[in-house]
Chain A
Amino acid sequence: MELAVGGIGLSYGGRRVLENVTFSLASGEHALLLGPSGSGKSSLLNIICGLQTPDTGDVTLGQRPVVRNGLLCGADGVRKRHMGIVFQTLRLVSALTVRRNLLLAQHLQTGARDPGGVDRVLDRLGIAHRAKARPFELSQGEAQRAAIARALVGNPAILIADEPTSALDRDNTKGVAELLAETAHDAGASLLIATHDDRLRDYFGRTLALAEGRLAG
């Protein structure tokens, strides 16, 4: 399912945050959205996910519009059904076990409860043995895997991760990057990672460099 972003512009507090951002991501393609803090990465991800309204531009996933002429358009439904999001702070629900976090996400995204599907995702991410653990009982690596598992449990068309390696050392950065790439590949999903971490360039074939709200090149 192709992601098409066209002519996105955004101003905030009199400052131009995004300026005519245009790119597309083919079905199953992996790309890095690289830029320093304040470059507009998070705003762009929010717009792509339909969480924020731009001033101008369009976003479509497959044939489904998320933003049309600067207005949100069916964004909730597209995000819910076709996008898997890994947040920078992971945001696992602390009151629930890892498995129940996934079951809840699966239910919210697909309307179904398929414990077998949840167990398969946990197994694929190598954390099936931690299924009954609560988030605060997990190591950073396990929590990262659990968050990725949750993003994948609804079988999304695109996996979007916001600064997934911001707090990790070199070894763990490599591990997470490879894990995201592998799991997205295995799931047949596109992958878009927003990061300021230049080290991730080595793991992804395509980089979209964002500077002062504009895509380079």
Chain B
Amino acid sequence: MISLALAYLRDRPLTTALNVLLLAIAVAMLVLLLQFGKQASERFDRDARNIDLVVGAKGSPLQLILSSIFHVDQPTGNIPLSAMTMLRRDPAVARAVPLALGDNFRSYRIVGTDESFYDLYGVAFAQGRAFDGPMQAVLGAKVAAETEAGLGQEFVGSHGFRTDEAGEQAHDHAPFATVGILAPTGGVVDRLILVSYESVWDVHGIAHELDHEHDGHDHLVDDRDHADEGTDPPALQSTGTGPEPELTALLVTYRNASGAIRVPALVNRQTEMQAAVPAIETARLLQLLGASIEGIRVFAWLLAATGGLAIFVALLNMARSREGDLALLRVMGASRVQVFATIIMEGLFTAALGAALGWLGAHVLIGAARANFATLADLGFQAWSPVAGEAALIAAVLAIGAIAALIPALRVYRIDPARVLARS
């Protein structure tokens, strides 16, 4: 009877294909939503773990969070080095990790920081050691794997966060030497290159204490060292902060709960900087996306219901047009349950095919999007990382198929073979 159910489906290929397509689109949309929600949420949680506050230049707090924790957006600007000293002296602050951003190597961000970064993310070394001097670099696991860099190898950073950015300029004069490679963390650290923040200043000749802005972002430069950067010299500006070097942001961990009350207020009211709380900003981001996501989710379920309705109509028509065939099966010895099951199986097979194609399509789509949209790759989206909700979703779609087949199957169950055959 299974082969008969499959044969009936093959016998009306267009109807079957359309029903499968409807369900596949619905399932693909729902799987994408599940994947996006799960992976983004997990990623946010993992990367923001232990970070209670981000202190950076004034601007969008969400942008500050995205650029400093998830490394997917442009920084809001620079802050004075003295901010780190101030925060580290605060009794409510357990840790203030400096970040000096602005350069990349093959689109992997070079992060100027210090040894506190290792503690914050709890990283372990796969090879080599931590940087302990100027122009030494530690590569994240993914950076090392993708660039095939090994210990002792040298590389040159470039301005900006993408190697394909217009006007990209390489710091040929200041190569970094690889001294360590981190073990995989499954987080943002895997795609970062860690150096001392002093090295970032060295690359940009911070001795001149000048700040410039070019190719769409701010960072620290030195006019002397840009002599080799072609005919587009950066516009030089005084930082107005004297000789003090600058940082991009500080990742803060509180020592106790009082920090959450006092430190953000202190930063926001008494300095030119802003303090952004990752939990609040990511919640706000998810809330902003939430309405759209819910809309898409409702639409996808409506599509799935439409698919179920299409299966119902197709099977009801089939039950009518093949009443004679099914009556004959009864005469030949098929039980009521067997002909009932034939129709249910048709509904289930259609739903299963739609669910399988939709699931596969969604994961292939994530893979393709990941390959073509750098932000998704930067956020660490994985194409083949099934979540538990997908099994429930597929079960729900199978239930839709079975429910859609129920009335046609009951109609067939009640067939009186003699009456049907006599009528025909």
Which residues of chain A have a CB within 8 Å of any CB of chain B?
42, 46, 49, 51-52, 76, 79-81, 85, 87, 89, 91, 93-96, 100, 104-105, 108-109
Known: A49-B331, A91-B325, A108-B329. A96 touches B4 (CB 8 A): yes
Q: How large is the interface on B (under 10, 10 to 19, 20 to 34, 35 or more residues)?
A: 10 to 19
Contact B7 A108 (CB under 8 A): no
- Which of B51-59, B215-223, B415-423 lines the interface with chain A? B415-423
How far apart are the CA atoms of A91 and B424 in the complex, in Å?
10
Q: With A94-B325, A95-B11 given, is the CB distance from A51 to B417 under 8 Å?
A: yes
- The listed residue with most A CB atoms (<10 A of its CB), out of B8, B332, B418, B424, is B332
A149 CB to nearest chain B CB (Å): 13
Q: Which A residues lie within 8 Å of B332 (CB)?
A: 80, 85, 104-105, 108-109
Instruction: Among B7, B333, B418, point to the contact of A51 (Cβ < 8 A).
Output: B418
Contact present for B333 and A95 (CB under 8 Å): no
Assembled-state Cα–Cα distance A87/B420 (Å): 12
Residue of A nearest to B333 (CB): A80
A205 to B313, CA, bound (A): 52
B333 touches A46 (CB 8 A): no
Chain A nearest CB, measured from B232 CB (Å)? 71
**A51, A79, A95: which has the most chain B beta carbons within 10 Å?**
A95
Number of A-B contacts (CB under 8 A): 54
Contact with A along B321-357 (1 / 0, CB 8 A): 0001100110111100000000000000000000000
Q: In this complex, what residue of B is CB-closest to A46?
A: B418
Q: Which residues of A contact B7 (CB under 8 A)?
A: 93, 95-96, 100
CB<8 Å pairs between A and B, sample of 19: A46-B422, A49-B331, A51-B418, A52-B418, A79-B331, A79-B333, A80-B333, A89-B424, A91-B328, A93-B7, A93-B325, A93-B328, A95-B4, A95-B8, A95-B11, A96-B4, A96-B7, A108-B334, A109-B332
B10: interface (CB < 8 Å): yes
In the complex, what distance in Å separates the CA atom of A122 from the CA atom of B337? Answer: 30
Residue of B nearest to A77 (CB): B333
| Interface membership of chain B positions 1-39, coded 1 if the CB is closer than 8 angstroms to chain A and 0 otherwise | 001100110110000000000000000000000000000
Q: How far is the CA of A52 from the CA of B331 in the complex (A)?
A: 11
Chain B residues contacting A81 (CB-CB under 8 Å) are 333
Q: How far is the CA of A46 from the CA of B333 in the complex (A)?
A: 15
